[in-house]
């Protein structure tokens, strides 16, 4: 019985890959979004995804995924060339200021 439990414990549990944003855009064939409406919709969708990811990792105390959530939020802000992107990111940091490990991930990314 212990051998089976040990073998199962050593295997990595199933998980979904979290490719970088750049890779996702490349796979989708998106190199540049010039249409203002399309760009605005893309940024809004990325922010919404980042907000849900941040909420999910902090609500479920998934500290090992704070790095991915912070990276997703940072990428969403950096792609926005307007000051609104940085303001949104600052608001996300304030919203989640009770999570020092998450704040360290933001700091590590230089935001």
Q: What is the pLDDT of residues 78-94, one digit of tens each?
A: 888 778 899 999 999 99
Q: What's the CA gap between 107 and 28, in Å, rounded?
A: 30
* 3-class secondary-structure state, position 19: coil
Q: What is the pLDDT of residues 6-44, one digit of tens each?
A: 444 455 666 667 677 677 777 777 777 677 788 888 889
Using alpha carbons, select from 100, 103, 106 the residue that is nearest to residue 77: 106
Helix residue ranges per DSSP H, 21-65: 21-27, 36-59
Please answer whether residues 85 and 78 qualify as being in contact, where contact means their C-beta atoms are separated by less than 8 angstroms. Answer: yes
The verdict on pTM exceeding 0.85 is no
Using alpha carbons, select from 35, 45, 53, 48 the residue that is nearest to residue 96: 53
């Amino acid at each position: 019985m212990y051998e089976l439990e040990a073998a199962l414990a050593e295997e990595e549990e199933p998980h979904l890959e979290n490719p970088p944003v750049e890779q996702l855009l490349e796979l989708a064939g998106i190199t540049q979004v010039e249409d203002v409406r399309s760009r605005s919709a893309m940024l809004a969708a990325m922010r919404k995804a980042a907000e849900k990811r941040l909420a999910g990792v902090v609500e479920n105390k998934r500290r090992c995924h704070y790095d991915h959530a912070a990276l997703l939020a940072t990428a969403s802000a950096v792609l926005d060339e307007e000051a609104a992107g940085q303001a949104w990111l600052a608001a996300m940091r304030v919203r989640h200021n009770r999570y020092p490990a998450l704040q360290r991930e933001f700091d590590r990314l230089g935001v």
